[in-house]
Amino acid sequence: MMSRCSRALPILLLWACVAHAADESPPPAEVAPKPEAAAAAASAPAATKWEGAIGPVTSLSPEYSGGSRRTLSVVPGFYLRYGRLSVSNASSFVTRRSDDVFRGLGLDLVQRESLRFNIALRFDRGRRSADSAALAGIENVRQTIRARASATWQLGHGWKVASGWTIDLLGRGGGQVLDFGIGHDRRWSERVTWNVGVGLSAADGRYMRSYYGVTPSESIASGYPVYTPGAGLKDASVGTSWRMEIDPRWSASWGGSIGRVLGPAASSPLTQSTRQWSLNGAIGWRF
């Protein structure tokens, strides 16, 4: 199935170009407005096409997927959108629009009230053996660029369903990953919104071997037994988050998740704990 998906990537990219070109095409000629209407239009404020946010993003998460120890990180987060195009290194910011923020360089191909379809390019940092003492003797997973296609359906009453597919464009062992989630948003007050959701992901054999496999040479260097996983489920999680509008410029978000490593990933000798949890928070200044 994933091989068929990879052949569909050029079609998605072509669709992106056509959709973006359609947005940039000149509108049809219109009848000149009356002087009174023209004056009113001139005095009206122009529609804002640009929006963005910057601020610190903090997380307490496992050293690697399947690890038993956690690490605290604080990184500068940013988000910028122009029309259908957006770029971000975090998904924690609250923007002037109600839709979700996706990481990477993205383009919304479909942007409707009930459906959003997005494609994006993301930088994948891979994994370094220096990230954890438990990975000593295990080769690094190389950095790469991933393409992601995702769709979100708004079901009404705050419920939504989302699915996504990512692929390693450079063939550096990142493989392919599928994910599926169900979420619910509820506004607790004029300034506070609460979200809860569940998710499930699966990966192909190449991804599993890169992140959870142990080769014969790695077995000698690390002491772990040789392990060659195949495709299968990767993990499941449930998470919750809160978003607060401090004022028109400032916003804050915080949340956490608990999950379980599944399938071939859970059977890996590198997986020291199948139970995973994380906490996160962010403060953003919007412009």
Burial class from Cβ neighbours inside 10 Å (0-12, 13-18, 19+) for residue 180 reads middle
Burial class from Cβ neighbours inside 10 Å (0-12, 13-18, 19+) for residue 261 reads buried
What's the Rg (C-alpha) of the chain? Answer: 22
Angle at 183 between CA 3 and CA 114, to 5 degrees: 80
Q: What does each C-alpha distance from 79 to 5, 57, 60, 65 come to in angstroms? A: 29, 12, 21, 26
pLDDT at 96: 56
DSSP 14: H
- Domains within the chain, CATH numbers bracketed: 2-22+49-286 (2.40.230)
Are 235 and 262 spatial neighbours (Cβ–Cβ below 8 Å)?
Answer: yes
Q: Containing H/E element for 218?
A: helix 216-222
| pLDDT in single tens digits along all 287 residues of the chain | 444 444 444 444 334 433 443 444 444 444 444 444 444 343 334 455 888 899 999 999 999 999 999 999 999 999 999 989 999 987 766 565 556 777 899 999 998 989 999 999 999 999 999 999 999 999 999 999 999 999 999 999 999 999 999 999 999 999 999 999 999 999 999 999 999 999 999 999 999 999 999 999 999 999 999 999 999 999 999 999 999 999 989 999 999 999 999 999 999 999 999 999 999 999 999 88
pLDDT at 97: 55
pLDDT at 45: 40
Three-state secondary structure call for residue 280: strand
pLDDT at 102: 77
pLDDT at 4: 44
